[in-house]
Amino acid sequence: MASTTASAALPADPAADAGKAEKPPSPLRAKRRRQLAQWGFIAPAVLFMALFFGYPLVRNIVMSFQDYSPSTFFTGEAPFNGLDNWRNVFDDGLFGKALWQTVLFTVGSLAGQFCIGLALAVFFSRRFPLNGILRSLILLPWLVPMVVSGIVWRRIFDQDTGVLNSFLGTLGLGGDTPWLTSTSMALVSVILVNIWIGIPFNMVILYGGLQEVPKELHEAAALDGASAWRTFRSVTLPVLKPVITVVLVLGFMSTVKILDLVLALTDGGPADSTQTLGTLTYQNSFVQMDFGAGAVVGNVLILISAVFAVFYLRANRNEGK
């Protein structure tokens, strides 16, 4: 009995208690903690995307199947009308015209931006005095807000007081071209302005890609007696192909939905000759107050952009490999 009492009175082993206190968590619990920490870091970004991108997208899709009018903002009533909005938009000849002019505007802009941007990138890839200063100056059109560029170019293109017609008249090349008021010249003028705006972006990205072309390949081509054009076509372009793909896809996604530039230059006129899908969305929604029809055209733009976004992601993945 005494021995039992004595053993019970002995103090606990501190080493054993310390071992129990410092026992590491189980692998499953540690994994859960890591997962919670990861979700905690990405939760703000997920919330932001869901609130400012996911909800508007879903709301726009729903609106395209509703009779949504200005009175809806006060009554909250937007009756479901099935495919009526889609049918009305597609039956309207203006949608087909806007779609075709969007294709012309996008293709013309991308072709001009890419060709001039690539030429400038090749030009500036060689060292010469004032190289950095000139490259910085070329970036200016890219830094100016789109609306400001449109207003400036509208004054330049003015048929009566514009700088361009005055300059052409001085050269004896005519000085009364209706750049923005002729149905045959307005879209061309808008394309030219958009090319001017997009050249810096193309030049910067392609210039960076040219810096990654191994010099050894150029030296080997020179030893084989290849001309400058043959070297560029057979050596530089294949290496530059992933960068070219990314530039064209990003350029497409930013060009196909342009709105502010067209509004600042022509407001979609004259006679809808510069009407694109972007301006048609604006016109349906905020001029005619037919929000359902505007949502339909907006969904078409979203679908087109989504298709090319997939191409962009695949191009990025292939470039990473």
Long-range contacts of 274-280 (CB under 8 A, 24+ apart): 274/101, 274/105, 274/186, 274/187, 274/190, 275/94, 275/97, 275/98, 275/101, 276/98, 276/101, 276/102, 276/105, 277/98, 277/99, 277/102, 277/301, 278/102, 279/98, 280/94, 280/95, 280/98
Q: Residue 300: which of 63, 53, 61 has the closest Cα?
A: 61
pLDDT in tens, the chain (321 residues): 444 444 444 455 555 554 455 556 677 787 788 888 888 889 999 999 999 989 999 999 999 999 988 888 888 888 999 999 999 999 999 999 999 999 999 999 999 999 999 999 999 988 888 888 998 899 988 889 999 999 999 999 999 999 999 999 998 887 889 999 999 999 999 999 999 999 999 999 999 999 988 888 888 888 888 888 888 888 889 889 889 988 998 899 899 999 999 999 999 999 999 999 999 999 999 999 999 999 999 999 999 988 888 877 777 776 655
Give 208-251 pLDDT, tens digit per residue. 999 988 888 888 888 888 888 888 888 889 889 889 988 998 89
Category of 29 on φ-ψ map: left (φ > 0), alpha (ψ -120 to 50) or beta: alpha
Domain positions in the chain? 84-320
What local confidence, expressed as pLDDT, does residue 8 receive? Answer: 47
**pTM (predicted TM-score):** 0.84
Q: Which residues, at least 6 apart from 129, have a Cβ–Cβ distance to it below 8 Å?
A: none
- For domain 84-320, give its CATH number from 3.60.150.10, 1.10.3720.10, 1.25.40.340, 2.60.40.10: 1.10.3720.10
Q: What are phi and psi of 80, to 5 degrees?
A: -75, 125
Q: Residue 217: which of 203, 207, 205, 230 has the closest Cα?
A: 230
